[in-house]
Amino acid sequence: MLSHVHGFYGAIRLNTWPRKAVVCLALVIPLGLLSNVGWEVLAGPQKDIKVLPWGIQFDASSDQHVENSADAESLLRQAHQFLLQGQRAQALGVAQDLVTRYPNFQLGQLLFADLLSLTSGQAMDAPVASNLATPELTRKLQQLNDEARLRLHRPDASTYQGKEPAGLAYLSAKVPYAIAVDAAHSRLYVLGHANANEGGKAAKGLKVIFETYMSVGQRGVGKLQKGDGKTPLGVYFIQKSYPGHVLPDLYGSGALTLNYPNEADVLDGKTGSGIWLHGSPSEAFARPPEASDGCVVLSNPDMAFLMRLQLPAGTPVLIQRQIEWVEPQKNQALRAQLWPSLQAGGLASSDEVMALLSWQGEGRNMVATISANHKTLASSAGFRSDYWVEQARQWRTLSALAEEGGRMEHSPAKPKSSKRSASLQVSQLQWQR
């Protein structure tokens, strides 16, 4: 048994989960042997098995609809739902399908191990179990427990059905998609037009066409400086797309670069670069909720889906601590309020506005626009991004303020740095955050 324990510890330490080795996970560790870890699994109605090792919190508090799909998260949720209903055989069957399809999905392997533990009823010797109570293993188990909580208790689809992210005031039919990142729930949403008209006219509302789990910086969100391990908050635009085969393994199945630092970040004295949306290393299906150096990280299947959408340059990406979902009429009213103010503040009448987003940044009302003189966003040369700030009830572009030598209200008293291009070579950019 001890050799099996060491085999398991090595597997989790190296982030690899050989399919044939999963049988060695069918062990039960008494909860008290894992110090400072209050993880308990309540597996259905059976009361004689109270504690299972890996701390996935299977409680009956969720009555969310569970979809019947074959992606990793759906299978995880299906197995969990069967377990809540006391249908352990069905749960085990779904979990086995999960680890067969996605052998590097650590959370799925732990669920499978827990279900095997339920059927075996075998307990681990206390001295052997104590060998697993190391700080490194405890941290990894806590990360997986956090991932389980976020995946199993994600916001229900009813949260966003018929609604839009607050502040996404306008998206032309010529811009097919927008992305919203909800850091608090570790979710990424892709929005498309609900009923776009032909001829490039405005679409009638937006709808979520895809959502998934994602990871942010190891120190959360609110990036201020290079190397702080945080993901920036605000509105950014996709600039370039890199397929996975041209990137190091760290970036998985592909990457989309963002324009961090944008004009607002630069005038606020924020530093760093190389903030991307990208996939996961091949050894891991997904990253813990807070694990990157500042990028937004998806599983490789999910990132591959984004790459297949062929998101054009200029696609807006709204990154928020938590997304507020509102009725489309609220965004329409916001657009009607902002439009004349932006025109008075210098919005060129010859430009066609392709996107308009509003948010709170560093205590200020901010707006970002994408505009174009051409009929398409086929290349980055076909659009221009502008960032606006409200001062004394007037909207001004940050580029105009910079030319005048002004400074935004409430911005830190730091010297302005020159704006940096976000289109650096991959070899230059990959280590900068």
Following DSSP, what letter does each residue of 224-276 receive, concatenated? Answer: -STTS--B--EEEEEEEEEEGGGS-GGGTTEEEEE--S-HHHHHTT------E
For all residues of the chain together, what is the average pLDDT?
Answer: 79
Averaged pLDDT, 85-105: 95
Using alpha carbons, select from 194, 270, 201 the residue that is nearest to residue 232. 270
Residue scoring higher pLDDT (365 or 200): 365
Strands 234-243 and 316-320: antiparallel
pLDDT at 401: 84
Question: What is the predicted pLDDT for the residue at 278?
Answer: 98
Distances (CA, A) of 367 to 165, 188, 335: 14, 21, 11
pTM of the predicted structure, to 2 decimals = 0.81
DSSP H helices in 121-206: 126-130, 135-152
The proportion of the chain whose per-residue pLDDT surpasses 70, expressed as a percent, equals: 71
Which of these, 369, 396, 366, lies nearest to 384 by C-alpha position? Answer: 369
Hunting for tokens 């197995």 — which residue is that? 79
What is the pLDDT at residue 402?
80
Quote the Cα angle for 43-49-54, to 5°: 65
pLDDT at 1 exceeding the cut of 50: no
3-state secondary structure of 283: coil
d(CA 249, CA 151): 25
Q: For the domain covering 157-429, report its CATH number.
A: 2.40.440.10
d(CA 358, CA 166): 8
Which stretch of 167-171, 192-196, 354-358 has the lowest confidence by average pLDDT?
192-196
Q: What is the pLDDT of residues 320-330, one digit of tens each?
A: 999 999 999 99
Determine the Cα–Cα distance for residues 408 and 398; give it in Å rounded to an integer.
Answer: 8
Q: What is the pLDDT of residues 67-89, one digit of tens each?
A: 667 899 999 999 999 998 989 99
Q: What are phi and psi of 363, to 5 degrees?
A: 80, 10
**pLDDT at position 128 over 70:** no
pLDDT at 68: 62
Above 70 in pLDDT, residue 19? no
Tell me if residue 309 falls in helix, strand or coil.
Answer: coil
Q: How confident is the model at residue 246 (pLDDT cuts 50, 70, 90)?
A: very high
Pairing between strand 177-182 and 316-320? parallel
pLDDT in tens, 285-294: 999 999 999 9
**Structural domain spans, the chain:** 2-152, 157-429
Q: Which amino acid is at 2?
A: L
Phi then psi dihedrals of residue 194, to 5 deg: -75, -35
Cα dihedral: 231, 234, 240, 244 (round 10) = 30
Do 188 and 289 touch, CB atoms closer than 8 A? no
Q: How confident is the model at residue 121 (pLDDT cuts 50, 70, 90)?
A: low
Sequence-distant (6+) residues with CB within 8 A of 103 are 17, 18, 19, 109
Q: What is the per-residue pLDDT for 126?
A: 63
Least confident of 119-128, 308-317, 395-404: 119-128
Which pLDDT value is given to residue 267? 86
Residue 406 neighbours by CB distance under 10 Å: 14
Q: Examine the pLDDT at 424 and tell me if it is beyond 60.
A: no
User: What pLDDT, on the 0 to 100 scale, is given for residue 377?
Assistant: 46
Q: Is 80 exceeded by the pLDDT of residue 417? A: no
> Does residue 198 have a pLDDT over 60?
no
Nearest to 324 by CA among 182, 206, 207: 182
DSSP secondary structure code for residue 286 in this structure: S
Tell me which DSSP letter residue 392 carries: T
* pLDDT for residue 356 is more than 80: yes
Going by pLDDT thresholds of 50, 70 and 90, the confidence category of residue 118 is confident
